[in-house]
Structures are given as C-alpha cells and as structure tokens.
Amino acid sequence: MTQATDGGGGTRSYGGRSAAERAAERRARLVAAATTLLGEHGEHKATMTAICQTAGLTERYFYESFKHRDEALVAAFDEVCRELAASAVAAVQATEGEPLDRTRAALRAAVDLLVAEPAKARVIVLESTASAPLRARRRELVAWFAGVVADEARSILGERAQPEDRLRLHATFFVAGLAELVVSWLHDEPGVTPDRLVEVGSDLFVALARRD
C-alpha cells in the first residue's frame, strides 16, 4: 500500500487509487445507502446519520460530497433514473425487428430492474414526491425521461414517428402514465403485473409515438 502527497500536501494516491477515485467511491456508497433507505424505509427515515451509518462512513465524508441530506436524496433519485434509462436504451440498441418488439425489449429491461430491486421503483414513483426538493427534481426528470423516450421513438420509428412538437407531449404523457402503472403494481392492485406493465406500456408507446 502506498501513499503520496501532491505539492500542496494533499494525498494523491493510496493503495493505487487517487484521492479523487476514493472520494468518488465514498460518494457512490453514500448514494447507494440513500437509495436503500429512501426506497425501503421512506424519506423520513433517510436521515443524514442513517445514510452515513448504512454507508459505513463518518459525517465528515458525507459533507465531502453533499451540502445537506436533501442533496443526497436527490442524487439517489438521479442515479436510479439514469440506471433505468440506460437499461432501456441498451435493450433498444441490442434488439432488431418491428417497433413493438424493440419497445417491449426496452420496457422488459426497465421492468425487470424494478422487479429485481423494488426499492428503486419506490424511489422513482413514491418517494420522489415526499419532499419539496424531490418533487422539484421529479418534474425535471419527467421532462428528461420524456426527452429520452422521444429520442428512442425517433430511433425506432424513423419517419413514422410523430412530429417533434407532438412527440414530446406524447412522450410526457407516456412517462407519466407508465409511472402510475408502476404505482399500481407496487400497491398490488389486481391485474397489474410486471408482464402487463410491459404489454400495456409497449402498446401505449407505439400508439402515442407513431403517426396515424
């Protein structure tokens, strides 16, 4: 194990990792802890102290990455959204065939992630309305997701996609509607299963994104 200092006396490397790499690893642990607490126990239990305890880090390292608890919760929300979008986009890119087939692949990847880790589903659709900072970020991320959906619609449908102005509005409708179906699934409402989410969501996407 080695340690070196930069010209200002700060640590440059330790155990083969730079100071920036170690800070990034600590931040990732804090975000993962915030995600777990937010998704499994709710916003009121996701305190700064609980996040640090779950991550196995002291408060000093919390403030290295975040100014306050709400900033950590927003970061957790952001990370889950990025992971969900990345899984869906990767599935589209890896799938050939008709628009409905590619759409189903994308939704299957996203839904499988939420089924495997339901805490992340709760972060996205339930706890994202639990505080003012999360609600504000949710509005921004719905718009961001709508942009991702619109981009993928153009990729899947090409010239058959709706005109740009309508496509963005339809994508927003799709994102909001799908989120409500996920809420229904989390609440164990009759008839709402992961397979139905994929089936209905895919049909809805194609119907909304494709020109008449």
Q: Taking the CB of residue 83, how many other CB atoms lie within 10 A of it?
A: 15
Whole-angstrom distance, CA of residue 96 vs CA of residue 105: 10
Is there a common fold for 3-69 and 73-209?
no
Q: Three-state SS for 130? A: coil
H helix runs in 42-68, sequence order: 48-55, 59-65
H helix runs in 95-193, sequence order: 99-116, 118-125, 132-157, 164-186
Over 5-45, what HEC string results? ECCCCCEEEECCEEHHHHHHHHHHHHHHHHHHHHHHHCHHH
Residue 14: its pLDDT value, please? 62
Domain spans in the chain, listed from the N-terminal domain onward: 3-69, 73-209
134, 43 Cβ separation under 8 angstroms: yes
Whole-angstrom distance, CA of residue 188 vs CA of residue 170: 27
Lookup: tokens for 211: 């020109």
- Choosing among 1.20.120.530, 1.10.3720.10, 3.20.140.10, 1.10.10.60, the CATH entry for 3-69 is 1.10.10.60
Report the predicted TM-score, pTM, of the whole model to 2 decimal places.
0.86
Q: Three-state SS for 3? A: strand
What is the full per-residue pLDDT of the chain (212 aa) written as tens digits?
444 444 444 456 666 788 899 999 999 999 999 999 999 999 999 999 999 999 999 999 999 999 999 999 999 999 999 999 999 999 999 999 899 999 999 999 999 999 999 999 999 999 999 999 999 999 999 999 999 999 999 999 999 999 999 999 999 999 999 999 999 999 999 999 999 999 999 999 999 999 87
Distances (CA, A) of 126 to 38, 44, 118: 10, 13, 11
Query: Which CATH architecture describes the domain 73-209?
Result: Orthogonal Bundle (1.10)
